[in-house]
Amino acid sequence: MLVQANCELSGQTIQDAGLRHLPGLFLIETVRNGDIIPVVSPQTVIQSGDRLVFAGAVDSVVELRRIRGLAVASDQVFKLEGRTHERRLFEAVISAESPVTGLNIRESRFRHRYSAVILSIARNGQRLTGKIGDIMLQAGDTLLLEAQKGFLFKFRNSRDFLLISRLENSSNVRHNRAPRAIAIMVLMVMLRNKHETTSRY
């Protein structure tokens, strides 16, 4: 995950940011200016531009995407078409008939072909490491994808995938709407209190 300039975690320690005890996830390292910093001390201070590397359950990524200013650390994600808040996370299993089988991700032109970005790959139950663009895709690989919400409908009958499922509640939070929502809630409470006060007299 990439710590952007507006990230609410920037300047906080790992512990203060609540990243030490995430359900289903473990922060294994931080990449800063190209250098890998093993996350040992909970007092490590998070900085803008840091890339936070997590290991754990795929479903837990949903919670990370809800943090303001924390984005998936993939250059390809920023090239996806469409609005960010309309994207979802999906898991897809590659079939033997898929045209991307036997190609590395860069050669497969996966983003152009499916309008989706591969965030991680699991093979035989193990997450693959290394530069993701150089990984050779194989039948049976499970891909964690970010794509527009219509991805499932578009490719659910495709022979390219054995299975596609959407992660629940995986939409990006529209933080720019939060102040407005809070203001509306406060106004509703004020009007309700005013009504109750008036009713007493």
Express each pLDDT in 94-147 by its tens digit: 999 999 999 998 899 898 899 888 888 889 988 887 777 889 999 999 998 888
Contacts (Cβ under 8 Å, ≥6 apart) of 88: 146, 147, 148, 149, 151, 166, 167, 170, 171
Per the rule left: phi > 0, alpha: psi between -120 and 50, beta: everything else, 89 is beta
Question: Is the domain defined by 82-175 classed in CATH 3.30.70.1450?
Answer: yes
Asked whether the beta carbons of 167 and 120 are under 8 A apart, the reply is: no
- What CATH number labels 1-73? 3.30.70.1450
Is the pLDDT confidence value at 154 over 70? Answer: yes
Q: Residue ranges per domain, the chain?
A: 1-73, 82-175
pLDDT tier, 27 (very low <50, low <70, confident <90, very high otherwise): confident
Q: For residue 146, count other CB atoms closer than 10 A to its CB.
A: 23
Res 162: pLDDT: 94
Is the pLDDT confidence value at 183 over 70? Answer: no
What sign for the dihedral angle of Cα 93, 99, 102, 103?
A: negative
Please determine whether the domains at 1-73 and 82-175 fall in the same fold group of CATH: yes
Contacts (Cβ under 8 Å, ≥6 apart) of 115: 80, 81, 147, 148, 151
Q: Could you give the percent of the chain with pLDDT greater than 90?
A: 20
Res 84: pLDDT: 56
Res 139: pLDDT: 95
Question: How high is the mean pLDDT of the chain?
Answer: 76
Highest mean pLDDT among 42-51, 133-142, 176-185: 133-142
N- to C-terminal Cα distance for the chain?
A: 56
Is the pLDDT confidence value at 57 over 50? Answer: yes
